[in-house]
């Protein structure tokens, strides 16, 4: 099926038309002539030239043939857009264009900068919050935070015994010390200690020693009631801790860590 | 432009910054960049979700609960990931629709890689849907893996191999997690191949004609247009995530998977419903599965259609009827199994295949 279009413009028009159909080889060559420069072809004058009155366009389109018909419009001039231009722009001669553009950019500078600043502020806010969302998602979740502190009934620790509890995934030693142990630890000469700390700064109540059960050497869990100093002994590399959790012998550099704890009510210790 | 000696920078400039793009492409050409945007969103959220998810049947359901309730920002990442999949596939459908409408399947390489990408995306979405291990996850996995039993002789053996056992269970979930993590990288690699094919000729344009003499630099024109498209789609996306995040979800998935009890109204996510309707309306098992597979595979045959000509009026008529029928088929896939819906689905399925055939020959 072929598609054709015929334009029957009056002899007032001096340009011929070239129909571009759906064929892959070019049709008859286009013959273009310059329009007469003496007759301005704007929207106002086209009707006077009779384009609408005498022009006749017809097309025949089939259902499965090509759907678009294209004309080579070599006679249409650009309409006058002055009514639609912004106030500081006009279509004066091209020699002024660069200056006009420079001026226009200066005039709209404030607005453009304001919009740009707003966009940057919004964008940075959005970006910062997005990054924060992802990074925060990797931090401790609510169930982990919920177990960040534990409450232990002190009655669970008989006198003379050291009991191990799980706190933040780590072992926690709560030792109910006897009077003898307390006296011994308080009498220790600080000059002998690798990590000098008096017993009374390591306990809030002398009867209860509360320390994190992780050897400060390389992280093993010491064994309670063993070692040469009546406290703890780490089997991994032979560190000995006393009944105040202080390092006395072996490679560990520091005393067993004392966590943050308090006694919210009688008989209860809250750790963490 | 300064002459760049670095081949990587040259590649970037030639493929993006100074890529010649036709002057007249419309918003339907935003599809590719939107799919890419959601790909990035899915990979990022998926990565962070995988830090908290546990791929074992004992823990999976509870780990998703943990993400929703305990993990900081977990709830929004999960909803973004779940709804992001819907948007990802929606844009893929629109993208394929645009290419079908404008007949760009003449570009065989890009078209075929594109259909492979469609299949991979649908597979990835299916695998991801299984991971929460809810009722719909489990039974969806059971139904879809059971398609394999339609293969004669070896069907049963293959499906047991796929399951890693005698039914969908822990081994299945484990390997689905592995594949769900892996496939997106395959998709990204194939997307680059897809772009490579497209950049051989450059983008097509709505008029369908040769456009080498009317090109613009991609940046800033289409770069900024793409960014606008991203803003618009992200706006609607975040509206959905913020105000109605369970809209596309199924209530059954709030229940932990129970291998003993199948839900009464079982159906897949919306992007599979058209294929599900086609499957269900055929009373024969093997033919039903064949039709379901063929509903996607049929797109490969477009490379054999006649030489590219501009879409005619008839072509566009057929296309739009097919598109409306596609929506009808999607709706029918979500309907319960009643005679009237089965009958309508049979008509719709016939129209689906027949009209695609028409599109190939018109």
Q: By the 8 A CB rule, do B26 and B227 touch?
A: no
pLDDT for res B170: 95
Pick the more confident residue, B345 or A37: B345
Flag whether pLDDT at A3 surpasses 70: no
Q: In this predicted model, what pLDDT tens digit does every residue of B88-115 receive, in sequence order? A: 999 999 999 999 999 999 889 999 999 9
- Residue A221 Cα, gap to closest chain B Cα (Å): 28
Q: With CB atoms and an 8 Å threshold, state whether B72 touches A134.
A: no
DSSP B170-217: HHHHHHHHHHHHHHHHHHHHHHHHHHHHHHHH----TT-S--TTSEEE
Report residue B153's pLDDT band, with 50, 70 and 90 as the boundaries: very high
CB proximity B24 to A under 8 Å: no
Q: Average pLDDT for residues A199-208, to the nearest whole number? A: 94
Angle, to 10 degrees, between the axis of helix B135-146 and the axis of helix B108-130?
A: 130
| Separation of alpha carbons B75 and B251, rounded Å | 17
Question: What is the band of A91 on the pLDDT scale with cuts at 50, 70, 90?
Answer: low
* Optimal mutation site among A67, A116, A119, A138, interface B, most CBs of chain B within 10 A: A67
Candidate from A62-71, A108-117, B60-69, B236-245 with smallest mean pLDDT: A62-71
Report cis status (omega within 30 of 0) of the bond before B220.
Answer: yes
Residue A246 to residues A259, B313, B343, Cα–Cα distance (Å): 14, 91, 83
Q: From CA A181, how far away is CA A179, in angstroms rounded? A: 5
Residue A68 — pLDDT band, cuts 50, 70, 90?
low
Looking at per-residue confidence, does A13 or A237 come out higher? Answer: A237
Would the annotation count B95 as a binding residue? yes
Of B70, B77, B309, the CB nearest to A141: B70
Taking one residue from A and the other from B, the number of pairs with CB-CB distance under 8 angstroms is 58
**Above 50 in pLDDT, residue B186?**
yes
Name the band, by pLDDT with cuts 50, 70 and 90, for residue A9. Answer: very low
Instruction: Select from A133, A136, A139 the residue whose CB has the most chain B CBs within 10 Å, as the one to mutate to test that interface.
Output: A133
Tokens of A71: 């004309």
Question: At residue A1, does pLDDT exceed 90?
Answer: no
Please state the length of chain A: 272
pLDDT at B86 over 70: yes
- pLDDT of residue A38 exceeding 90: no
Please calculate the CA angle B59-B61-B62 and round it to the nearest 5 degrees: 65
Is B81 annotated as ligand-binding? yes
Output the pLDDT for position A81.
81
Q: With bands split at pLDDT 50, 70 and 90, how would you rate the model's confidence at A7?
A: very low
Residue B76 clears pLDDT 80, i.e. is over it: yes
pLDDT band for position A107 (cuts 50, 70, 90): confident
Helix and strand element counts for chain A (H, E): 7, 14
Q: In Å, how far is A147's CA from the nearest CA of chain B?
A: 12
For residue A63, what pLDDT is reported?
76
Q: Mean pLDDT throughout B40-69?
A: 97
Q: Do A134 and B73 touch (CB under 8 A)?
A: yes
Q: What is the predicted pLDDT for the residue at A52?
A: 43
Give the CA dihedral B318, B323, B328, B334, nearest 10 degrees. Answer: 150
- Check CB contact under 8 Å for A61 and B313: yes
> Which DSSP symbol is given to B246?
T
Q: Is the pLDDT of residue A134 over 70?
A: yes
The verdict on A24 touching B (C-beta cutoff 8 Å) is no
Instruction: Supply B49's token pair.
Output: 């979700």
Mean pLDDT of B278-290: 94
Distance, in angstroms, between A128 CA and closest chain B CA?
14
Statement: residue A89 has pLDDT above 70: no
Nearest to B310 among A63, A68, A137 (CB): A68
CA distance B349 to B342: 10
Span between the terminal Cα atoms of chain B, in Å: 45
| Token pair of A86 as six digits | 């912004």
Residue of A nearest to B210 (CA): A24
Give pLDDT, residue A5: 36
pLDDT at A253: 93
Q: Which residue from A minimizes the CA distance to B47?
A: A134
Q: What is the mean pLDDT of residues B25-31?
A: 95
Binding residue per annotation — B199? yes
pTM of the predicted model, to two decimals? 0.81
Confidence at A70, pLDDT banded by 50, 70, 90: low
Bridge partners, residue A174, by sequence: A163, A210
Phi and psi of A164, rounded to 5°?
A: -105, 130
| Residue B4, pLDDT score | 76
Kind and range of the H or E run holding A150: strand A150-153
Q: Do residue B313 and residue A63 have CB atoms under 8 angstroms apart?
A: yes
Least confident of A17-26, A52-61, B140-149, B213-222: A17-26
**Opening angle at CA B275, ends B274 and B276, nearest 5:** 90
The predicted model gives A241-259 an average pLDDT of: 94
With CB atoms and an 8 Å threshold, state whether B74 touches A137.
yes
pLDDT, one tens digit per residue, over B154-164 is: 999 999 999 99
Nearest 5°: phi and psi at A170? -120, 160
User: Can you give the pLDDT at residue A96?
Assistant: 75
% pLDDT > 70, chain B: 99
C-alpha distance from B48 to closest chain A C-alpha (Å): 7
Residue range B262-279: mean pLDDT, rounded: 93
**Domains of chain B as residue ranges with CATH:** 24-262 (1.20.810.10), 267-361 (1.10.287)
The answer, yes or no, to whether residue B85 has pLDDT greater than 50, is: yes
- Rounded to a whole number of angstroms, the distance from the CA of B66 to the nearest CA of chain A is 8
Average pLDDT in the A98-107 region? 84
For residue A90, the model assigns a pLDDT of: 58
Other Cβ atoms less than 10 A from the Cβ of B25: the count is 19
Contact (CB<8Å) B51/A138? yes
Mean pLDDT of chain A: 79
B72 with A136: Cβ contact below 8 A: yes
Phi-psi region of A188 (alpha: psi -120 to 50; beta: other; left: phi over 0): beta
Report pLDDT for A85.
74
Q: What percent of chain A has pLDDT over 90?
A: 57
Taking CB atoms and an 8 Å limit, are A137 and B310 in contact across chains?
A: no
Mind listing the pLDDT tens digit for each residue in A165-176?
Answer: 999 989 999 999
Confidence check: pLDDT of B138 > 90: yes
Q: Give me the active site residues of B, please.
A: 199, 203, 225-226, 269
| 8 A C-beta contact, residue B137 and residue B129 | yes
In whole angstroms, give the CA distance from residue A64 to residue B282: 33
Active site residue A217: no
In the predicted model, is pLDDT for residue B48 greater than 70?
Answer: yes
Report whether pLDDT(A79) > 90.
no
DSSP states of A168-220: TTEEEEEEE--HHHHHHHHT--GGG-SS---HHHH-SSTTEEEEE---TTT-P
pLDDT in tens, B242-263: 999 999 999 999 999 999 999 9
Q: Does the pLDDT value for residue A201 go beyond 60? A: yes
For residue B44, list chain A residues with Cβ-Cβ distance below 8 A: 134
- pLDDT score recorded for residue A19: 40
Helix or strand or coil: residue A268?
A: strand
Q: Could you read off the pLDDT of A142-154 as tens digits, one per residue?
A: 999 998 999 999 9
Question: Using CA of residue A225, residue A226, residue A231, residue A234, what is the dihedral sign?
Answer: negative
pLDDT at A147: 87
Percent of residues, chain A, with pLDDT higher than 70: 70
Higher pLDDT, B67 or B311: B67
For residue B72, the chain A residues in CB contact (below 8 A) are: 136-137, 139, 141-142
Instruction: Please write the tens of the pLDDT for every residue from B310-358.
Output: 788 899 999 999 999 999 999 999 999 999 999 999 999 999 999 999 9
Where residue A26 falls among pLDDT bands split at 50, 70, 90?
very low
Q: Do A137 and B71 touch (CB under 8 A)?
A: yes
pLDDT at A98: 81
Least confident of A11-15, A122-126, B142-146: A11-15
């Amino acid at each position: 099926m072929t598609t054709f279009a015929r334009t029957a413009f009056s002899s007032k028009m001096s340009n011929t038309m070239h129909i571009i159909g759906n064929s892959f080889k070019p049709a008859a060559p286009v013959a273009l002539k310059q329009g007469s420069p003496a007759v301005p072809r704007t929207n106002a004058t086209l009707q006077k030239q009779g384009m609408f009155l005498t022009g006749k366009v017809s097309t025949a389109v089939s259902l499965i043939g090509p759907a678009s018909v294209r004309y080579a419009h070599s006679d249409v001039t650009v309409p006058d857009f002055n009514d639609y231009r912004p106030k500081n722009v006009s279509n004066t001669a091209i020699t002024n264009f660069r200056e006009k553009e420079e001026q226009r950019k200066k005039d709209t500078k404030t607005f453009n900068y304001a919009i740009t600043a707003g966009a940057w502020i919004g964008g940075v806010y959005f970006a910062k919050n997005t990054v924060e969302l992802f990074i925060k998602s990797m931090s401790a979740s609510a169930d982990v935070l919920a177990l960040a502190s534990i409450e232990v009934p002190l009655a669970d620790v008989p006198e003379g015994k050291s009991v191990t509890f799980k706190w933040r995934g780590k072992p926690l030693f709560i030792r109910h010390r006897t009077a003898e142990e307390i006296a011994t630890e308080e009498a220790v000469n600080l000059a002998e200690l690798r990590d000098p700390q008096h017993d009374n700064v390591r306990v809030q109540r002398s009867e209860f020693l509360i320390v994190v059960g992780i050897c400060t050497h390389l992280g093993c869990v010491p064994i309670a009631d063993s070692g040469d100093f009546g406290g703890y002994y780490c089997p991994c590399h032979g560190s000995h801790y006393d009944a105040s959790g202080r390092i006395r012998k072996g490679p560990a550099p520091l005393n067993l860590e004392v966590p943050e704890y308090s006694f919210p009510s009688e008989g209860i210790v809250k750790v963490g | 432009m300064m002459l760049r000696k670095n081949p990587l920078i040259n590649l970037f400039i030639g493929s993006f910054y100074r890529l010649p793009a036709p002057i007249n492409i419309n918003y339907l050409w935003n599809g590719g960049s939107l799919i890419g945007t959601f790909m990035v969103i899915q990979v990022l959220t998926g990565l962070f979700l995988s830090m908290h998810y546990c791929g074992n049947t004992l823990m999976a359901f509870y780990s998703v609960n943990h993400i929703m309730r305990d993990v900081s920002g977990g709830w929004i990442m999960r909803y973004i990931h779940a709804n992001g999949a819907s948007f990802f596939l929606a844009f893929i459908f629109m993208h394929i629709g645009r290419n079908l409408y404008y007949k760009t399947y003449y570009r065989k390489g890009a078209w075929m890689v594109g259909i492979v990408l469609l299949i991979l995306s649908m597979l990835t979405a299916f695998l991801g849907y299984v991971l929460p291990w809810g009722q719909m996850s489990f039974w969806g996995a059971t139904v879809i893996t059971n398609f394999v039993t339609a293969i004669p002789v070896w069907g049963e053996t293959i499906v047991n191999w796929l399951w890693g056992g005698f039914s969908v269970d822990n081994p299945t979930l484990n390997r689905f997690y592995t594949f769900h993590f892996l496939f997106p990288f395959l998709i990204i690699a194939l997307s680059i191949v897809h772009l490579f094919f497209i950049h051989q000729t450059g983008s097509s344009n709505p008029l369908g004609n040769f456009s080498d003499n009317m090109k613009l630099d991609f940046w800033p024109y289409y770069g900024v247009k793409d960014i606008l498209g991203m803003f618009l789609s992200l706006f609607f996306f975040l509206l959905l995530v913020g105000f109605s995040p369970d809209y596309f979800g199924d209530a059954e998935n709030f229940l932990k998977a129970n291998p003993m009890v199948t839900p009464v109204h079982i159906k897949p996510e919306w992007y599979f419903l058209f294929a599900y309707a086609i499957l269900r309306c055929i009373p024969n098992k093997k033919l039903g599965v064949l039709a379901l597979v063929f509903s996607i595979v049929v797109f490969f045959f477009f490379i054999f259609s006649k030489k590219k000509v501009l879409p005619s009026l008839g072509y566009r008529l057929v296309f739009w009827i097919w598109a409306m029928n596609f929506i009808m088929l999607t709706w029918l896939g979500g309907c319960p199994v009643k005679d009237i819906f089965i009958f309508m689905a049979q008509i719709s399925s016939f129209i689906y295949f027949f009209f695609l055939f028409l599109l190939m020959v018109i």
